[in-house]
A and B are shown apart, each in its own frame.
Chain A
């Protein structure tokens, strides 16, 4: 059975089922509260969720059983007495040491936990970065939404912040350098595109068998890096992709040439182009793209799929893919996008989907 953790505007839903058929709701938590993100740490079996109560602020919660009691994690806050407050936790990602987890949030902050998520500490290197006064938020805020460890090397880390860009660390987060070479922020005036930290990255995934290779969905572009994020290559222009705007990107862990994106109309629209829901796949590192959408809505379907709402399980021919939309629909594929089925269709607006 496959289990999904679906963060929605009205709580967390755990869904379970077999690829090909609808899934059942096996647990619901935080009813009525926005759940930005939830994931299960395969090392400990613990489930972590990030909530943003409109009244009581952002929190991280931890449990051994999503249907049972949750404990609030400590330390998920900015320094007291300053002029900033934590607005939201966007993402939680396991690190490359036992018990190590990272969480990213708004305003462009990274937290670290070394006890499996019970207590957290602010990453001071990024918080105190001298360029911080020059950082500008995107439409979703100054969100640190992407955290990409390097397999087997806890010292190397990539994070991305909208609308600032990619940051790299080679010393486990003690120091950071921006790394946006090759990315063209077309939303800026031509004269301003040389700004090295005005880049609205939407998502980045790493090819685990070739960790120097990364794929990026940018605000208006799709990019690849073959040097660990030091530089980026446009892999959308001149291809058949119906739009280079989108939010999430996913890779097949078995194939470093692979990536999946879900194009949306850019600018203010941000819905599936022409009312057709399509997942596009590359198997040649972005040289060519093909729609792999059999079974997805083919008309009058104007969906928005947010950056954390697309994930995978397995690899190769057994690759499973799942994504959710703000319409409350969740779709899945059990055959590497060869065909799609409806997982759930009446959930609240979906913010995140993660396989457990």
Chain B
């Protein structure tokens, strides 16, 4: 089981900052998050199953993509990128 760590507004939608979830890839974990917290559906993964362009995912200290492997005890951070104007 890995820990998915969220920031606002996702943490508010999901009812908390940390979520223990099962999955072997980032995409599986994010789908598990959507099942556990339906209000998050569509906010991180788009209809294609892609992480939205301006959201960054890290597995522990490393940048990650949808297919990045996740192991028990990993920390998966989901946070908005530094962008805008």
Contacts and interface: CB of A to CB of B under 8 A. Distances in A.
B55 A55 contact: yes
Contacts of A209: none
Contact of B43 (A54, A56, A79): A56
A85 B43 CA distance: 12
Interface of B: 9-10, 39, 42-44, 46-50, 52, 54-55, 80-81, 83-84
Contact of A85 (B46, B83, B84): B46
Nearest to B9: A56
* Chain A, interface residues (CB within 8 Å), range: 10 to 19
A106 to B, nearest CB: 13
Contacts of A86: 46-47
Q: Choose among B10, B42, B50, B80 the residue with the greatest number of A CB atoms under 10 Å from its CB.
A: B42
A82 B47 contact: yes
Contacts of A72: 39
Interface of A: 54-57, 59, 72, 77-86
B80 A55 contact: yes
12 contacts: A56-B55, A57-B42, A57-B43, A79-B47, A81-B47, A82-B47, A82-B48, A84-B47, A85-B46, A85-B48, A85-B50, A86-B47
A148 B52 CA distance: 32
Contacts of A81: 47-49
A55 B81 contact: yes
A228 B43 CA distance: 40
A245 B50 CA distance: 38
